[in-house]
Structure 1
């Protein structure tokens, strides 16, 4: 079982989009019995809230429904539950490294970009302060990235 946790700041934009897109690609490939996918935020501002309406709309335009997801904050127990803890940007990666510092388990902590071959980006930009076009661009970026991530995980046997 591949247990994947995507992390962004508030868990209402990037990480729920990534969760939705990876789940979508897992389902399309009939691999649901091999993957568990979740998302969380490093901050607690939006705990219990649905994804930003712009993220929901951008995902829906690409055939993915994330409206039912609810924001949560990462917890130290997540480092025991997930094989891959994947940050959307370097700031969140630093926060995760600090939080996960005491764990020596079998989890891999990294940036999404570092897990892909030639991703064309380092950080997934946070569209929160932008306009709807920014959400569309991030949704398309994450859809492609999650498709490539699934292929890589399958090739690596993880």
Structure 2
């Protein structure tokens, strides 16, 4: 990746109306708070396209708004194999999403694919559960998990891409 190009992160769940837009909003908010908006870009998508063009679920928007995160500008879309060319990181919410993504992942791009909760292994949860059929408490729990894992993901990106205000010259990077 060219050091002057932003790091691009795509969050993926099944329908792109609950978990992945929440993850995009939370991560984008963290990026903005750290002053890294020019260095990191975000998007979200679903493994299925039935909610393409729709806003995130009202419950996800409500919980996010209560926590100071705005999801109102986000719209659902379906992931495509070309996303693996556009994005440096493709982050799945659960193992089913991950497996669905492997079926559209071009050979040689597998290293871009991750589970979000891998960035919060200390929590002891491997997947972000789908809150769609549950109540408000499920959306609160999902927000908490996403927030914790997003902090870990941002830390990893900052370290790997030297976005912490340290040397920006690629010649000074340790491999």
TM-score by length of 2: 0.85
Residues 1:65 and 2:70 aligned together:
yes
- In the other structure, the counterpart of 2:102 is 97
- In the other structure, the counterpart of 2:137 is 133
Q: Number of residues paired by the alignment? A: 157
Residues 1:49 and 2:88 aligned together:
no
Distance 1:119 1:81, change over 3 A: farther
Contact 2:118 2:149 in 1 (8 A): no
User: Which residue, out of 143, 147, 152, partners 2:147?
Assistant: 143
1:149 & 1:133 partners in 2: Cα distance?
24
Q: Deviations over 1:13-42 (max 9, x none)?
A: 000000000000000010011101000000
Detail structure 1 runs of 4+ shifted over 3 Å in the superposition: none
Contact 1:22 1:143 in 2 (8 A): yes
Contact 1:116 1:145 in 2 (8 A): yes
Q: Relative contact order (alpha carbons < 8 A, sep ≥ 6): 1 or 2 greater?
A: 1
Measured after TM superposition, the shift of residue 152 of structure 1 is: 1.9
Contact 2:102 2:110 in 1 (8 A): no
TM-score by length of 1: 0.94
- In the other structure, the counterpart of 2:172 is none
